[in-house]
Chains A and B, each alone.
Chain A
């Protein structure tokens, strides 16, 4: 009995809206007929702390959280946060990272230092890293919150779900007046990953 699980970890900083991406992803997996679980911790983390969301799908899912080293795809909304999550990712896993740089006040003092180039550090450890200038592209598309669907678009070409399914889910979950612009961001993400096919 094969029960292959796909593990996706989304990380970012409180206030970045990480949760929409994980919502869209888990809904898509469910619509595709999988058992799905997703876990995130709210609370203190919303005040600028680290936010993580675990998504797992398979024929049958037990634990809602992933084991270390078992993540297939890491999506990071912030450069340094991707580095913080390296122990979750498989060696051959895919990391999709926004070049967003959020330096917290604590890293402005003498004690702590924000790494100069987290993406470069990440590339030394993993072969499959896609970095995206997500903020700039989202702004160009008209709204900084589009980072969500943009990064999801990038990831989508590594997942098995049809474009049509993604589109249905985005149409159902995103507020009506933002649907078109989100679909545009999603398509843009797909192009960035070198897969513009619909």
Chain B
């Protein structure tokens, strides 16, 4: 059957056709939909969200050694978290096929950096495959499992946002039949004490030679001959952009990206008068080709920053003298107000940031929807490095600045479970005076609403035990643990003041669920009594998208506020900050669509 699938859906399909037994991961844009699709459409595969990528990776290793093909999914920065097992699993090799998805995010559409994980495969000396559309996403997933077993190695499938989130037509096939396999005890191969690891490191080198040979021969690295004197070396999404801009060139399309098919490329290059490398992000091909004495330029014409696009590729080709003209905008772009993402109407995170703004303390931040509090109009978050960093950052900051100045760490529920627990343990162990706010909205919201160990449900939809944050924090040794309602502004302010002043670590947990996921939460909306509104703009400053300027002005020419009754969820925070008490509960339940 032919279906229109995203790259992520195609990987899920590929896993199904490859007979995968277990799929594990941690959500992260742009990788998340792979496991969601597996859990929804391919129920024969056991799938799970792990608390973080490292655990997911280790679960995958267990499955592979136990005799079931394993798929592990994560975004690029997730592989940093999983780097420890990743680097050493490269030594042991697999029992049956193991594929890890690294979904990179050039342009940082929803990430804190745009690291190029092609280097990670090279670092670990394992092969990686890179698809350039949905069909290849499926085909390469199957191929990756074959290669994993043939060469006894974990394999990385490197996706990027454009591949993961673009849809294309995919021809679906039947699942393969695999021979029976099980766990075979082999301590020298799987127990990486130094004596064994030394021997395995030799095997890694030998394997690399075999992979080099394979890379020269496989049709994953293919030449497209159009009889041109121009040769373009490219891979991934960059291939598609280049084909759009200059279809008549000859192409060397790289699908098997490590080790590179150096000799095949050398021959291709010598057969062309002009050659050019078109690759997104870092000069990954270029460095290796140049090191092998193949002198072809790339990054001279293309930025290492951000995503490429047909337009940017055309610019580069023009600069390199390969094409003469480029098509661009016929009408110039408009200067317009920005429209940054923003906390939703009724978001339970809003109250905490309003209170922190009032208190004027240093706020070490973390990653999730709540990171949006750094943007106007709230603008109250001082750090954001990586998941779980807020607590460690706060500890360090408090140690050098002292308790009096106040340091508060804010961290989401999913993030706390991902990598905040050890930070909190550190705060207790090393007698830190930080206050940690756990923004428990009972879901992983930023990535689209995934379950986690405190939601009570698994990825496959089963009920399970849920972590109790209060008990957990107490068990770690935190003496002061308090739950607060983030819709009660004064209450929140009071609790935070007390906890910030208190010596020793304390934990404050906000206890309202996300208003969007898993269920939409809608209460009776609020309205502005226009005659009472003095245009002070206090309600605008809480950054709620349901509150807009009305066409009506005060006598000082300030716009009055109006509230969109369809967007308002009735959280009441705006009413709590309205001095003239112009914001009140709507007179009767308005119809909610």
Contact = CB atoms under 8 A, between A and B. Distances in A.
A67 B341 contact: no
Interface in B219-243: 237, 240-241, 243
A40 B339 contact: no
A30 B5 CA distance: 12
B310 interface: yes
Of A49, A89, A105, A112, the most chain B CB neighbours within 10 A belong to A105
Interface in B128-167: 133, 161-162, 165-167
A135 to B, nearest CB: 10
A27 B2 CA distance: 11
**Chain B interface helix/strand/loop/mixed:** loop
Contact of A84 (B169, B328, B336, B544): B336
A159 interface: no
A168 interface: no
B337 A64 contact: no
A18 B344 CA distance: 17
Interface in B325-352: 327-334, 336-344
Nearest to A39: B166
A42 B329 CA distance: 25
A123 B447 CA distance: 38
B543 interface: yes
Interface residues of A, number: 60
A48 B341 contact: yes
A38 B448 contact: no
Given A48-B341, A68-B311, A83 B165 contact: no
A105 B377 contact: yes
Contacts of B547: 105
Given A30-B4, A90-B330, A47 B314 contact: no
B181 interface: no
A45 to B, nearest CB: 6
Contact of B332 (A81, A87, A121, A143): A87
A113 interface: yes
A74 to B, nearest CB: 11
B328 A68 contact: yes
Nearest to B342: A48
B167 A106 contact: no
A86 to B, nearest CB: 5
B484 interface: no
Given A37-B167, A44-B109, A67-B310, A143 B341 contact: no
Contact of A67 (B168, B327, B372): B327
28 contacts: A35-B169, A38-B167, A39-B162, A39-B165, A42-B29, A42-B30, A46-B341, A47-B341, A47-B342, A48-B344, A48-B545, A62-B244, A63-B241, A66-B310, A67-B314, A67-B327, A69-B328, A83-B336, A84-B339, A89-B331, A103-B548, A104-B342, A105-B543, A107-B337, A109-B376, A114-B337, A126-B331, A143-B593
